[in-house]
Amino acid sequence: MTERYAQADAVGRRVRVVLVDDHRMFRAGVQAEIGDTARTGVEVVGEAADVDQAVTVITATRPEVVLLDVHLPGGGGVEVLRRCAPLTAAAENPVRFLALSVSDAAEDVIGVIRGGARGYVTKTITGADLVDSVFRVQEGDAVFSPRLAGFVLDAFASTDAPPVDEDLDRLTQREREVLRLIARGYAYKEIAKQLFISVKTVESHVSAVLRKLQLSNRHELTRWATARRLV
């Protein structure tokens, strides 16, 4: 994933970011890794260590992207998403959330994505990939790590019970293929080449999957997430 988007792309682009994580060391690490604005185009405008602080900082600074830890004192990332819902839904300059966590237990990941986060990456991600993900989220694209794609496929695969809403709850063949390739570690460009479609089409498929995941109220999705403690 390292050289997916050339670093040169960052030149001239700017994104304002808030870091939400209860580990100060980790915030410092991320700041050092991506916070060099001249090089990466990322400007860290605020940090928060718990839910209340996060809501305050996000409301005050109105960043474009929030890097959000899943586990937080005061209710976790889901609670931040819930309380910032008006900002996320704002018509102009919406705040977008990218979940960033050491936990990749299925219920945590699916939880924040359903709560409205635009993507999920693990903390083992490299700095370049993280910058890349931040920009993609800022542009409105969804960021699926291979593991998240696996979780989503798994959640939508268990379709023994008839879905409540056929259109909403079923992934199309194409979306499934795209997810599968993401899970296998393909980059968007490679997926586009493999499926003979454009990168933009890949992006729109991924966004569609994200929307279905967030809107789908199939009860087995939640049940699935809580019943398994997949790692």
Residues of this chain that interact with other proteins (CB under 8 A) are 1-2, 105, 146-147, 149-150, 153-154, 157, 180, 183-185, 229, 231
In the complex with other proteins, the residue whose CB is nearer, 90 or 157, is 157
Closest distance of CB 69 from other proteins, Å: 17
For 205, how many CA atoms within 13 A lie in the half-sphere containing its CB?
23
Of the CA atoms within 13 Å of residue 158, those in its CB half-sphere come to 15
Q: Which two tokens stand for residue 209?
A: 């999957």
Kindly give the interhelix angle for 199-215 and 188-195, rounded to the nearest 10 degrees: 110
Q: Which amino acid type is present at position 187?
A: A
Q: What separation in angstroms does the CA of 24 have from each of 19, 30, 50?
A: 10, 10, 11
| Nearest distance, CB of residue 185 and other proteins, angstroms | 3
CA distance 160 to 162: 6
Residue 48, number of CB atoms within 10 A of its CB:
23
Residue 3 or 139 having the CB closest to other proteins = 3
Minimum distance of other proteins from residue 144's CB (angstroms): 11
Pair 201, 192: CB distance under 8 Å: yes
Least distance to other proteins, CB of residue 191, Å: 13
CB closer to other proteins out of 78 and 187: 187
Minimum Å gap between C-beta 189 and other proteins is 12
Closer Cβ to other proteins, 56 or 158, answer by number = 158
Q: Which is nearer to other proteins, 78 or 183 (CB)?
A: 183
Query: From CA 51, how far away is CA 136, in angstroms rounded?
Result: 25
Alpha-carbon distance of 192 to 173, in angstroms, equals 15
Q: Are 44 and 19 in contact (CB under 8 A)?
A: yes
Q: How far is the CB of 182 from other proteins (least distance, A)?
A: 9
By C-beta, is 37 or 122 nearer to other proteins?
122
